[in-house]
């Protein structure tokens, strides 16, 4: 740029070559000096440098530099040489010009250099300090915009030469450079501020997500949430409100109001809902961000806000789920701190997390009951029974004067009845039988349904074998009496096994096993009988378990691998697949995983299934072309059980080597839930797999199981956003916010995002907009058999 100018000036005609050379050398030295000074001086200092040192050498009478004021859009005199500067960095009597006003204005508008040799015939001429004869105006341009004008006037007609023009143009370009740098610096500063803000926001999101896991009570949750939210959204008041189930009252379990002096205890009865913004918020279920004008308008035209002080800015976010409806509200009384839509996003996230926490706490209580009781009969289940037995054994060990016994009871022919008459009859029979047994017992005894048609009774404080025999006999009798259900007469009977605690056996599990064995012996001896443990006659009965069927399926290779393509959202190109299991059942046809994975997890057979699927996936990959870097990968789902095996990583690496695979092609997909089973072992395994080269995908993300800090600790490559968010990303503001937060967190941690279960084009569009990279769903392809998937693998 400067070089071009230099040569342009050098080719100047009219001056002697010597003059030209001197002048140019002088000028180029100055330009070099000024350019180096660009970095150290401010715009104004630079302008004064140019108007001082440079212009003086050109024989000018005056020179004024105008810059456009970004707020008014007017041309303002910022530096001057000559009569308009009487010393110091100050323009004397500065004037402002509109674009188009005078020759300077025209220069600014047309962005062209204007040279007027004789001003006497010029109508546009604006007289500033004195009337002169000729004028030269050069625009200062930056990225196609006029940012200013350098203007010079002279008392002689035809004073300005082409060399003058070149010089002023050079100065203009220097100023423009400075302008660009200054701007870039400002932009950089803005960006840094933005980055800092988004870092704080992300930290807050992390912290809020953690609260569910780290706060022991809801009160703690509110308190901590207030602290975190307060870091980013300073407010005079923050409160959490919850609507009573019958809409009779709006409670405020947390209400902090600085203007009222701190924590406030309030509730709003339904009569006053109409005048409460908070009640309106919860009832409408719509988030609301209100500023002063709207607030005063509302207070004037409607019932709301008729009571109390009127805030300047009000932001409320509701939360709704099956169990609770409520909201979080912040408000400010001062004009200096209005809330923004970013604040809305953060508060929405906090509200969602709060609602998860409330639901979880409620469910925990319900679950605790469910976890300990049999759903059908309401009796204590195996777990609670085991617990009571442990306690009873503790007492027994302290005081052996009282006997302690466990009675096992199993209905004979129950399975036949169930198969013949259906589950409903079967269930009624179990309920009736348990009621009959209970009538035989004393208050201190515990009757439990262990599962199916198995019951157990804990007998404390029995004196003799005779008492126990009598009880067993009575139970066998009452159970043996016919049961009439829906007009059908049913006959069943019970086999009972009894085991007594003794010096040799005072461990719960053993006692249970002994009673169980005694019961089987009774059954084997002809049903409707009882037997005591310790009175064995040498026969041992092998107990087969229901998991037999899965074991058979594994052996007969009835499990099959289906593949669902994973695409790049941007290019729609298939990147890889998720391996999904299907059971080709000889009688029931294609069985979906949801109906057997749970059973397999409980029985532990899931690790065999996982092994099997890994092996199948490896075989598929080795059969596919995998030379180039675009070769597809396969994500294999692993259960929590597998993740907690100490040798998982080594068996995967063996597998990869055995099939000669690139480990990058075999990705491991885990769920948040699976991590929880044994987090330390899981972390170790994942780290080892990751080191080995297998990518890690975190499935069902966002369902709230794990704490986000896991994410940071684990070597995760891809976060799979749970289908429940994808399906509602359009319809629910909360889902939208959550997905946004997940994407932003994932990207901060340098993970990719995969959205699963995409079905609609609109979902796709929103997910693209939110920055999600990968996609899976029926919109593209369902899970398909290997032969079909093969077409996509060959690209």
Residues 6+ apart with CB under 8 A from 91: 64, 77, 78, 79, 80, 84, 85
Are the beta carbons of 150 and 61 closer than 8 angstroms? no
Q: Which does 597 bind (CB under 5 to 8 A by kind): Ca ion, ligand C2E, none?
A: ligand C2E
- Segment near ligand C2E (CB under 6 A); pick from 157-165, 330-338, 517-525, 602-610: 602-610
Q: Angle at CA 642, nearest 5°, toward 638 and 647?
A: 125
Q: Considering CB distances under 5 to 8 angstroms, the limit depending on partner class, which of ligand C2E, Ca ion, none binds residue 771?
A: none
700 near ligand C2E, judged by CB under 6 A: yes
Q: Which is nearer to ligand C2E, 477 or 759 (CB)?
A: 759
Euclidean distance between CA atoms 786 and 581, whole angstroms: 12
Q: Rounded to the nearest whole angstrom, what is the least distance from the CB of residue 656 to Ca ion in the complex?
A: 20
Q: How far apart are alpha carbons 22 and 27 in whole angstroms?
A: 8
Q: How far apart are CA 298 and CA 281, in angstroms?
A: 14
Please state, as a whole number, how many other Cβ atoms lie within 10 Å of the Cβ of residue 268: 18
Residue 610 interacts with Ca ion (CB under 5 A)? no
As to burial, measured by CB atoms within 10 angstroms (0-12 exposed, 13-18 middle, 19+ buried), residue 502 is middle
DSSP 3-state assignment of 609? Answer: helix
- Our CB check for ligand C2E shows the closer of 429 and 561 to be 561
User: Whole-number minimum distance, CB 462 to ligand C2E, in Å?
Assistant: 47
Stretch that binds Ca ion, among 192-200, 215-223, 243-251, 699-707 (CB under 5 A): 699-707
Binding-residue total with ligand C2E (CB under 6 A): 25
Q: Does 639 bind Ca ion (CB under 5 A)?
A: no
For 529-650, strand residue ranges (E) read: 530-532, 559-568, 574-585, 589-591, 633-637
The reply on whether position 592 binds ligand C2E by CB under 6 A is yes
Beta-carbon contacts of residue 695 (< 8 Å; ≥ 6 apart): 633, 664, 667, 668, 717, 718
Continuous H helices in 453-526: 465-480, 508-524
Which single residue is written with the structure tokens 């005199």?
77
Work out whether 685 is an interface residue with ligand C2E (CB under 6 A).
no
Task: Give least dist CB 700 to Ca ion, A.
Answer: 4
Q: Which two tokens stand for residue 552?
A: 């058979």
Question: Any contact of residue 580 with ligand C2E (CB under 6 A)?
Answer: yes
764 is a contact residue toward ligand C2E (CB under 6 A) = no
Residue 24 engages Ca ion in binding (rule: CB under 5 A): no
Site for ligand C2E in 634-653 (CB under 6 A): 637-639
**Binding residue (CB under 6 A) for ligand C2E from 150, 201, 437, 581:** 581
Asked if 709 and 680 touch (Cβ cutoff 8 Å), the reply is no
Min dist. Cβ of residue 355 to ligand C2E (A): 23
Out of Ca ion, ligand C2E, none, what residue 613 binds, judged by CB under 5 to 8 A for its kind, is ligand C2E
CA dist., res. 568 & res. 754, Å (int) = 9
Least distance in Å: CB of 718 to ligand C2E?
A: 13
Stretch that binds ligand C2E, among 140-148, 221-229, 316-324, 608-616 (CB under 6 A): 608-616
Helix 414-421 to helix 423-440 angle, to the nearest 10 degrees?
140
Provide the 10 A C-beta neighbour count for residue 476.
Answer: 19
Q: Which does 594 bind (CB under 5 to 8 A by kind): ligand C2E, Ca ion, none?
A: ligand C2E
Min CB(451)–ligand C2E separation in Å: 24
The one segment of 71-79, 293-301, 419-427, 751-759 that binds ligand C2E by CB under 6 A: 751-759
In the complex with ligand C2E, the residue whose CB is nearer, 290 or 751, is 751
C-beta of residue 296 within 8 angstroms of C-beta of residue 305 = no
Subset of residues 555 to 574 that bind ligand C2E, contact rule: CB under 6 A = 564
Q: Residue 327 touches which of Ca ion, ligand C2E, none (CB < 5 to 8 A by kind)?
A: none
Q: Which does 432 bind (CB under 5 to 8 A by kind): Ca ion, ligand C2E, none?
A: none
CA distance 643 to 509: 27
Give the whole-angstrom CA distance, residue 275 versus residue 147. 53
Answer with the entry of ligand C2E, Ca ion, none that 108 interacts with (C-beta below 5 to 8 A by kind).
none
> What does the alpha-carbon distance between residue 226 and residue 255 come to, in Å, rounded to a whole number?
10
C-alpha 401: how far from chain center: 60
Exposed, middle or buried: residue 486 (CB in 10 Å: 0-12, 13-18, 19+)? exposed
Least distance from C-beta 714 to ligand C2E, angstroms? 18
| Binding residue for ligand C2E, selected from 429, 445, 757, 789, defined by CB under 6 A | 757
The answer to whether residue 445 forms part of the interface with Ca ion (CB under 5 A) is no
Asked if 253 touches ligand C2E (CB under 6 A), the answer is no
CA distances 87 to 76, 150, 612, Å, are 19, 19, 89
Nearer to ligand C2E, 379 or 609 (CB): 609
Nearest-approach distance from CB 674 to ligand C2E, in angstroms? 8
- 40's tokens: 């150290």
Task: State the binding partner of 783 from Ca ion, ligand C2E, none, CB within 5 to 8 A by kind.
Answer: ligand C2E
Residues 6+ apart with CB under 8 A from 188: none
Q: Give the SS3 label for residue 586.
A: coil
Q: Which does 150 bind (CB under 5 to 8 A by kind): Ca ion, ligand C2E, none?
A: none
- 8 Å CB contact between 388 and 456: no
768 binds ligand C2E (CB under 6 A): no
Using the rule CB under 6 A, is 788 a contact of ligand C2E?
no
The greatest distance separating any two alpha carbons of the chain, rounded to the nearest whole angstrom, comes to: 137
Cα–Cα distance, 657 to 73 (Å, whole number): 70
Cα–Cα distances (Å) from 64 to 128, 137, 155, 463, in that order, read 11, 10, 15, 115
778 binds, among Ca ion, ligand C2E, none (CB under 5 to 8 A by kind): ligand C2E
Nearer to ligand C2E, 268 or 621 (CB): 621
- Tell whether residue 637 is a contact of Ca ion (CB under 5 A): yes
Residue 348 binds ligand C2E, judged by CB under 6 A: no
CB atoms near residue 12 (< 10 Å): 17
| 263 forms part of the interface with ligand C2E (CB under 6 A) | no
CA distances from 337 to 213, 237, 333, 340 (A): 32, 12, 8, 9
CB of 743 to Ca ion, least distance (A): 17
Q: Which does 426 bind (CB under 5 to 8 A by kind): Ca ion, ligand C2E, none?
A: none
Binding partner of 777, given Ca ion, ligand C2E, none, CB within 5-8 angstroms per partner class: ligand C2E
Q: Does 699 bind Ca ion (CB under 5 A)?
A: yes
Q: How far is the CB of 670 from Ca ion (least distance, A)?
A: 9
Nearer to ligand C2E (CB atom), residue 593 or residue 715: 593
Torsion angle of C-alpha atoms 427, 433, 436, 440, degrees rounded to 10: -130
672 scored as a contact of Ca ion (CB under 5 A): no
Contacting residue, 151, 445, 700, 773, with Ca ion by CB under 5 A: 700
Q: Which is nearer to Ca ion, 392 or 670 (CB)?
A: 670
| Minimum CB distance to ligand C2E smaller for 458 or for 620 | 620
The Cα–Cα gap between 361 and 368 comes to 11
Closest C-alpha among 642, 614, 410, 441 to residue 517: 410
| Site for ligand C2E contains 778 (CB under 6 A) | yes
**Contact residues for ligand C2E, defined by CB under 6 A:** 564, 579-581, 592-594, 597, 606, 609-610, 613, 637-639, 699-700, 756-759, 776-778, 783
What does the binding site for Ca ion look like in residue numbers (CB under 5 A)? 637, 669, 699-700
């Amino acid at each position: 740029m400067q070089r071009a100018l230099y040569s342009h000036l050098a080719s100047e005609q009219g001056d002697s070559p010597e003059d030209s050379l001197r002048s140019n050398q002088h000028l180029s030295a100055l330009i070099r000096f000024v350019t180096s000074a660009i970095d150290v001086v401010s715009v104004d200092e630079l302008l004064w440098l140019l108007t001082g040192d440079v212009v003086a050498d050109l024989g000018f009478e005056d020179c004024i530099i105008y810059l456009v004021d970004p707020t008014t859009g007017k041309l303002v005199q910022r530096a001057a040489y000559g009569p308009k500067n009487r010393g110091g960095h100050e323009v004397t009597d500065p004037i402002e010009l509109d674009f188009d006003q005078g020759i300077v204005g025209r220069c600014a508008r047309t962005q062209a250099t204007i040279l007027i040799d004789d001003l006497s015939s010029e109508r546009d001429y604006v007289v500033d300090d004195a009337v002169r004869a000729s004028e030269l105006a050069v625009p200062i341009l930056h990225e196609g915009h006029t940012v200013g004008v350098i203007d010079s006037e002279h008392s002689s007609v035809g004073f300005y030469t082409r060399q003058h023009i070149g010089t002023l143009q050079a100065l203009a370009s220097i100023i423009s450079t400075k302008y660009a740098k200054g701007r870039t610096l400002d932009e950089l500063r803005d960006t840094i501020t933005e980055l800092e803000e988004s870092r704080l926001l992300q930290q807050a999101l992390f912290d809020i997500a953690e609260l569910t896991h780290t706060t022991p009570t809801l009160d703690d949750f509110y308190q901590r949430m207030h602290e975190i939210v307060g870091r980013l959204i300073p407010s005079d008041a923050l409160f959490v409100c919850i609507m009573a189930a019958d809409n009779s009252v709006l409670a405020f379990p947390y209400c902090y109001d600085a203007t009222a002096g701190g924590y406030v205890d309030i509730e709003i009865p339904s009569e006053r809902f109409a005048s409460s913004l908070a009640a309106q918020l919860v009832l409408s279920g719509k988030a609301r961000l209100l500023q002063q004008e709207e607030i005063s308008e509302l207070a004037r035209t409607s019932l709301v806000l008729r009571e109390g002080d009127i805030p300047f800015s009000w932001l409320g976010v509701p939360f709704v789920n099956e169990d609770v409806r409520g909201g979080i509200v912040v408000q400010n009384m001062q004009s200096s701190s209005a809330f923004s839509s970013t604040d809305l996003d953060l508060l929405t996230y906090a509200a969602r997390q709060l609602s998860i926490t409330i639901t979880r706490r409620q469910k925990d209580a319900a679950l605790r009951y469910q976890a300990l009781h049999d759903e059908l009969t309401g009796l204590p289940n195996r777990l609670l029974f085991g617990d009571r037995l442990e306690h009873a054994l503790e007492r027994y060990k302290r005081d052996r004067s009282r006997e302690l016994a466990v009675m096992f009871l199993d209905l004979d022919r129950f399975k036949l009845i169930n198969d013949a008459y259906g589950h409903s009859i079967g269930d009624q029979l179990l309920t009736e039988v348990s009621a009959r047994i209970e009538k035989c017992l004393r208050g201190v005894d515990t009757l439990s349904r262990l599962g199916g048609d198995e019951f157990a009774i804990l007998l404390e404080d029995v004196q003799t074998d005779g008492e126990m025999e009598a009880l067993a006999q009575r139970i066998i009798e009452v159970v043996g009496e016919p049961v009439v259900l829906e007009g059908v007469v049913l006959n069943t009977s019970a086999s009972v096994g009894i085991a007594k605690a003794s010096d040799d056996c005072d461990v719960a599990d053993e006692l249970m096993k002994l009673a169980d064995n005694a019961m089987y012996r009774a059954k084997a001896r002809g049903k409707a009988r009882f037997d005591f443990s310790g009175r064995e006659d040498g026969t041992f009965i092998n107990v087969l378990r229901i998991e037999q069927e899965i074991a058979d399926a594994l052996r007969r290779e009835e499990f099959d691998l289906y593949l669902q393509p994973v695409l790049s959202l941007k290019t729609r190109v298939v990147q890889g697949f998720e391996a999904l299991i299907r059971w080709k059942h000889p009688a029931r046809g294609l069985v979906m995983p949801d109906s057997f994975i749970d059973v397999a997890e409980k029985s532990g057979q899931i690790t065999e299934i996982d092994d099997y699927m890994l092996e199948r996936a490896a075989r598929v990959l080795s059969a596919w072309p995998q030379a180039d870097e675009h070769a597809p990968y396969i994500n294999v789902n692993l259960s929590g059980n597998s993740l907690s095996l100490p040798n998982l990583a080594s068996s995967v690496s063996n597998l990869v080597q055995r099939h000669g695979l690139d480990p990058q092609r075999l990705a491991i997909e885990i769920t948040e839930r699976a991590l929880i089973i044994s987090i330390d072992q899981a972390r170790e395994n994942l780290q080892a797999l990751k080191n080995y080269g297998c990518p890690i995908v975190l499935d069902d993300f966002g369902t709230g199981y794990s704490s986000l800090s896991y994410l940071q600790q684990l070597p995760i490559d891809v976060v799979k956003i749970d289908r429940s968010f994808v399906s509602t990303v359009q319809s629910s503001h909360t889902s939208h916010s959550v997905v946004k937060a997940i994407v932003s967190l994932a990207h901060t941690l340098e993970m990719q995002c995969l959205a699963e279960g995409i079905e609609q084009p609109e979902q796709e569009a929103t997910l693209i907009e939110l920055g999600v990279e990968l996609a899976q769903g029926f919109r593209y392809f369902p899970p398909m058999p290997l032969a079909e998937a093969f077409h996509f693998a060959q690209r």
